[in-house]
Amino acid sequence: MLFPQHSHDHSRSARRRLAVLSATTATALGLAVLAAPSADADHGARHQGSGHHSTGHHHGSRPTYRDARLPTKARVADLLGRMTLAEKIGQMAQAERADIDADTSQITSLGLGSVLSGGGSVPGSNTPEAWANMVDRYQRAALQTRLGIPLLYGVDSVHGHGNLDGATIFPHNIGLGASRDARLVKKIGHITAIETRASGPQWAFAPCICVARDDRWGRTYESFGEDPRLVRRMETVIDGLQGRKGQLDRPDHVLATAKHYAGDGLTSYRDTPTDPNDYPIDQGVDEVSHAEFARLALSPYPDAVRKHHIGSVMPSFSSVDWTEDGLGNPIKMSANRELITGVLKHALGFQGLVISDWRAIHQLPGTYADQVEASVNAGIDMFMEPFSGDPVGYPQFISTLTQLVNTGAVPMSRINDAVRRILTVKFKLGLFEHPYTDRSLMDTIGSRAHRAVARRAVAESQVLLTNKRRTLPLSKRAPVYVAGGSANSMGNQAGGWTLTWQGSPAGVIPGTTILGGIQQATNAPVTFSQDASAPVPADANGVVVVGETPYAEGPGDVAGPSWAPNGVQTMQLSAADRAAIDTVCSQAATCTVLVVSGRPIILPPEVVDEVDSLVASWLPGSEGQGVADVLFGREPFTGRLPVTWPRTLDQEPINVGDAARGKSYDPLFPYGWGLTTRRR
């Protein structure tokens, strides 16, 4: 057992570390000081309920757990008492759809609790009907088990139901953070829930409530911003996904997931990772004090749990190294009992389920048995072990955990706690009464009304950084010359987690590109030349749309792997985009540059000097008309920076509040910056 202090070891040193952490967390978050869980609580019920069948019934032969009129707690207790150890452990396993699609009997034989779609894992026909049919087919297999426990299906709906072709694709979180519009974000969460559940999945692996502190991180765009206060403000998205009080059994709500717990936005950048398979910053180590960790990493979670009633939490791939106590032993979150069981479940009182990230426990040291033991005892309830063998996956997880329980390495009380949480979620979702997809809202997927909300979100997310000579808003009477690699690229403006995990510059989804939005917004002639090789009219308003190609975690890190599907990311303008800016700005009457990116891009001083208007457009998603709305004054610019915009890459990490902590803070544009305009 490699992580005894994070499983069920209650030595004096382990209790001391937990007490220190709890006291620090209490000070920073206003929590009650947490006492270490007692050994008796973990060991006393090791074999309780391992195969006991309850005799409790209600109204004759009808099992209590089948009676929807009874409280959820009573139904869960009855069902849990009927389950064998094999049935319980099966509920803790989550498989990837690609591995069970051809043989759904695995769902029945193993009693799997959940199935997910990874990024780009879709049915053969990527339509709402095909999705619903697929999920229902898996559900039929689950209902054939002895107790008929329904399946929970999860998907990464991180900016809309991005895996589904035709879904409404909203701006990524960094753009929503720029809007500062908590009511709008709640509405976006609700639409995302509608479109997700109407196509089958009942569980969204969203939102990310991390506080991104280093823009070189490839997941920066999944964060609402660098200030924990802004992140907490945007947590209304949880209410939209789940309903204000967790009305999960309705067809317009899904189970939400707060991720990644905790500290994935605080990892230290590594210019030369020790392992060539490691990324420079993703899945790394938080080298911060207890106080900083509590202030930045933990602070979004009390509201998520207590105010917004989040139903599930996903631990991070990252590790925590408590530098101030000199342990020098980074602990992966997947094995961090102090933070998962101690802080999240005990101090914060989280009652939902904890789901591991994609094969995350494989990053723990030791044998597979060591990895399973450490993570289960740390407090993880369900395990995303997606494959049937790679070389290990969900079948091996089930057999391994069964052996660990039989040998006493994992107490039965830990299994019962995990399964109780999983069953509670399933009852609250109404899956026992309505296991199959409610398709009544399927026609609203990608509807005009939903896309109108996305268009509004795009407009509110645009941040006007400079506006010399009041260039913006543009006149609708003057000709427009459009250039740049992202002007007519739906893939670039949608970014990662769109149809596929990493996204693609060539990706096409229903919607309007920024060029299309400009063409619709004006009656004047519009010339498009991506590389600015076409002649530039001297009386034209030039609009150059530049930025990043799509990426997601890992390959999105600055100086990430050479095999990155869309190229190594640099946070710098490409040579082609830089040339287009120079050409247009030197010849057009006015020159506006839009930066389409998941984070700030380094802008050389000469570029800033030659540009009249500079706009941070972020990753707007499917509705490029929202960008045109503010360019031409249909809507005013109101967005404000959710992150600090650095002058040079060497300034990273740079964040609001640095000056107060004795660090240099001299950005190109500070956190919260954003000019405003009036409607025309």
Each residue's pLDDT tens digit, 248-290:
999 999 999 999 999 999 999 987 776 766 899 999 999 988 8
Tell me, what's the pLDDT at 142?
Answer: 98
Q: Estimate to the nearest angstrom the gap between the alpha carbon of 33 and the chain centroid.
A: 30
Could you please state the CATH topology (level 3) that the domain comprising 462-661 is classified under. Rossmann fold (3.40.50)
Tell me, what's the pLDDT at 28?
Answer: 52
Q: Which long-range contacts (CB under 8 A, 24 or more apart) does 288-291 make?
A: 288/263, 288/323, 289/322, 289/323, 289/324, 290/20, 290/21, 290/24, 290/25, 290/322, 290/324, 290/325, 291/24, 291/27, 291/28
Predicted TM-score (pTM) of this structure = 0.93
How far is it, in rounded angstroms, from Cα 259 to Cα 77?
28
Number of other CB atoms surrounding residue 349 within 10 Å: 12
Tell me, what's the pLDDT at 45?
Answer: 36
Are the C-beta atoms of residues 49 and 416 closer than 8 Å to each other?
Answer: yes
Side-chain-side CA neighbours of residue 667 (13 Å): 22
Contacts of 221 (CB under 8 A, 6+ apart): 172, 173, 174, 175, 495, 496, 598, 599, 618, 619
Instruction: Indicate which residues carry an active-site annotation.
Output: 357, 553
Nearest to 333 by CA among 282, 261, 394: 261
Number of other CB atoms surrounding residue 176 within 10 Å: 28
How far is it, in rounded angstroms, from Cα 384 to Cα 259?
14
Q: Torsions phi, psi of 653, nearest 5?
A: -80, 135
- For the four alpha carbons of 328, 332, 335 and 339, in that order, the dihedral sign comes to positive
Tokens of 313: 């939490």
Residues making up the chain, counted from first to last: 680
Tell me, what's the pLDDT at 167?
Answer: 98
Q: Where are the domains of the chain?
A: 4-31+56-443, 462-661
Beta-strand pair 319-322/331-332: antiparallel
User: Where do we find the tokens 């984070």?
Assistant: 599
User: Where do we find the tokens 């490839």?
Assistant: 218
How far is it, in rounded angstroms, from Cα 624 to Cα 458?
8
How far is it, in rounded angstroms, from Cα 320 to Cα 340?
12
Tell me, what's the pLDDT at 680?
Answer: 65
Tell me, what's the pLDDT at 391?
Answer: 85
State which residues of the chain have pLDDT below 70: 1-60, 246, 274, 276-277, 322-328, 679-680
How far is it, in rounded angstroms, from Cα 185 to Cα 107?
36
Tokens of 512: 């309007």
Are the C-beta atoms of residues 606 and 634 closer than 8 Å to each other?
Answer: no
Quote the strand ranges of 37-184, DSSP E.
Answer: 93-96, 114-117, 152-155
Tokens of 439: 């398709």
Contacts of 442 (CB under 8 A, 6+ apart): 128, 129, 132, 198, 199
Tell me, what's the pLDDT at 278?
Answer: 81
Tell me, what's the pLDDT at 329?
Answer: 80
Are the C-beta atoms of residues 285 and 278 closer than 8 Å to each other?
Answer: no
134 three-state secondary structure: helix
The CATH homologous superfamily for domain 4-31+56-443 is Glycoside hydrolase, family 3, N-terminal domain (3.20.20.300)
Nearest to 238 by CA among 296, 182, 181: 182
